[in-house]
Amino acid sequence: MKFKDQLNLVRRNMKKNRMRVFMTVLATTIGCAFLIVLASVGFGMQKSMQEELLSAQKLNEIQISGKETDGQFEQATKEQIKELENTEHVAAVVRRSGVSQTAQTEVKLSDRTSAFAGPVLTNMEQELKGNTKLVSGNAPKSDNEIIVGYHFGKSLLTEAEKKQLDKRNENPESKQESPEGYKGELIGKEIVFSMTEQVEDKSETKSWTFKIAGVAEAPARDFMEDSNIYISEKWKSEMRAFAEKADGAEELEVPEYSEINVYTTGIEQVKEVTDALKEKGYLVYSVTEELDNLNLFFNAFKAGLIFIGTVAVLIASIGIFNTMTMAVTERTQEIGIMKAIGAQPGMIRRIFLLESAFIGILGSLLGVAIAYVISFAANLAIPLILETVSEGSMDGVDLTFSSIPLSLVLIASGISVGVAVISGLRPAVKATKINVLSALRREL
């Protein structure tokens, strides 16, 4: 009997008991869909956390928190910055510094002032080589030129807007709108940056005038705001000298650098540079290391979910076993006739295995389709529910609750079809052992 004829025979036999086959396929469909939907939660959580990590940090960024020498932790120094810059495959070393822990700072532009614009002292050349991108303007060409954060204009308020903001802060539930701040062109404008310290119980203020050369791009996350002003580190000694005059300044230790980030020439070099810096004693963190740990955890988590989902498929296999056993019993005389005319045991076994495989394949196809529908509905409905319950606190947070990659579809389908074939194996073997004479004498 040709393989095509065997398929036709399988299809004909399945049509004879449509209801029983339908219920068996339904059980397989539910098992397969449950496996995929359950495991998709793990894939969705992994995808969300990966996107969250990648949005917060560049792939080629390595954060430096200090150096360990002879078991002692050291804050980063200028000599170490040089060492980092000379490391192979390092494209930029961005180092940022604060000015003072006690000063009150203020930025003024015309009749507008901002108390939220924090000063960040940095090396402009390395800053632009690293992570900072401009949405308007150009790179500073002199020490008196600065870059401002994307939301700097929003922080510049008039006296009337400050009162409006105070009223809103006093009653957040009111319909009072937040002030828009400065909406005009910032490039080329001059600002006055002031620091006020308490010196011998008296307020002393020092000011510097800078020209805005560029505006940095918006932060990666919607809920973050950047109102900083990025000043050349050439002003560090002068500003810190003024800050050191403040009362109690000697009790507060201001680190040389508050933030150090190393940027490699490419993503492929991150691991090599990270390992090299670790060997030198640097305390480092990179998103690639975090992703490796994250993937290790979620691989184990997804394996556990797939194992639990497989239990549902195994339960469905009981129905397949029962269906195939009954099929062998009902078709005993037919099997006897096939043997009498020369059918080989292998062919008889193949016919029943094909029937159980058909049940598995059909159940898998329907299960995959149902799983995609459930996944789409979950990703659509759950964020709306959470947003309603949290009263808008989820704004700007993009979460994927269910994700079904092709690999999960293949794994679930393979498990479903494999379990179906195994379930039909014993009935198929039983069919090959039927005695011809007993089968032909059997009355239906």
Pick from 157, 252, 239: which is nearest to 196 by CA? 239
Q: CA-CA distance, 274 to 296, in Å (whole number)? A: 19
User: Cα–Cα distances in Å, from 246 out to 17, 25, 238, 250?
Assistant: 92, 80, 14, 8
Q: With contact defined as beta carbons under 8 Å apart, do 151 and 182 qualify?
A: no
Q: With contact defined as beta carbons under 8 Å apart, do 335 and 352 qualify?
A: no
CA quadruple 369, 371, 372, 377: dihedral positive or negative? positive
User: How many angstroms separate the first and last alpha carbons of the chain?
Assistant: 25
Predicted confidence at residue 35, as pLDDT, reads 93
Taking only Cα atoms into account, the Rg of the chain, rounded to an integer number of angstroms, comes to 35
Backbone angles phi and psi of 112, in degrees to 5: -110, 145
Q: CA-CA distance, 435 to 336, in Å (whole number)? A: 7
Question: Long-range contact list for 2-11, CB < 8 A, 24+ apart?
Answer: 6/347, 6/350, 6/351, 6/354, 7/354, 9/351, 10/351, 10/354, 10/355, 10/358
State if pTM tops 0.95: no
Predicted confidence at residue 394, as pLDDT, reads 53
CA torsion, points 272, 275, 280, 281, in degrees to nearest 10?
Answer: 150
For residue 411, give the amino acid letter.
I
Q: CA-CA distance, 365 to 397, in Å (whole number)? A: 34
Backbone angles phi and psi of 246, in degrees to 5: -65, 150
Predicted confidence at residue 393, as pLDDT, reads 53
Q: With contact defined as beta carbons under 8 Å apart, do 228 and 148 qualify?
A: yes
Q: What angle do CA 335, 337, 339 make, to 5 degrees?
A: 70
Using the 8-state DSSP alphabet, how is residue 162 labeled?
H
Q: Tens of pLDDT along the chain (444 residues)?
A: 676 766 776 677 777 778 888 888 899 999 999 999 999 999 998 888 877 777 666 778 888 888 887 777 888 888 889 999 899 999 999 999 988 888 889 999 989 999 888 899 999 989 888 878 899 999 999 999 999 999 999 999 998 888 888 887 777 676 767 788 899 999 999 999 999 998 888 899 999 999 999 999 988 777 788 999 999 999 999 999 898 888 887 777 778 888 899 999 888 888 889 889 988 888 888 887 778 888 889 999 999 999 999 988 888 888 888 888 887 777 777 777 777 777 787 777 888 888 888 889 999 999 999 999 999 999 888 888 877 776 655 555 567 888 999 999 999 999 999 999 998 888 888 877 777 777 666 554
Predicted confidence at residue 444, as pLDDT, reads 45
HSE of 274, CA atoms in CB hemisphere, 13 A:
18
Backbone angles phi and psi of 65, in degrees to 5: -110, 0
According to DSSP, the β-strands at 229-232 and 119-122 are parallel
Strands (E), 275-382: 282-286
Q: Which two tokens stand for residue 354?
A: 């094909």
Q: CA-CA distance, 363 to 30, in Å (whole number)? A: 8
Exposure b/e, 106-127, CB count within 10 A at least 16 = b: bbbbeebbbebbbbbbbbbebb
According to DSSP, the β-strands at 190-199 and 259-264 are unpaired
Backbone angles phi and psi of 253, in degrees to 5: -95, 115
Predicted confidence at residue 9, as pLDDT, reads 67
Q: CA-CA distance, 152 to 208, in Å (whole number)? A: 17
Cα 374 → chain centroid: 21
Q: With contact defined as beta carbons under 8 Å apart, do 368 and 416 qualify?
A: no
Q: Which two tokens stand for residue 368?
A: 């995959």
Q: With contact defined as beta carbons under 8 Å apart, do 98 and 121 qualify?
A: yes
- What residues contact residue 301 under an 8 Å CB cut-off, 6+ apart? 42, 45, 46
Q: Which two tokens stand for residue 143?
A: 């020490």
Q: How many helices (H) and strands (E) does the chain have?
A: 13, 13
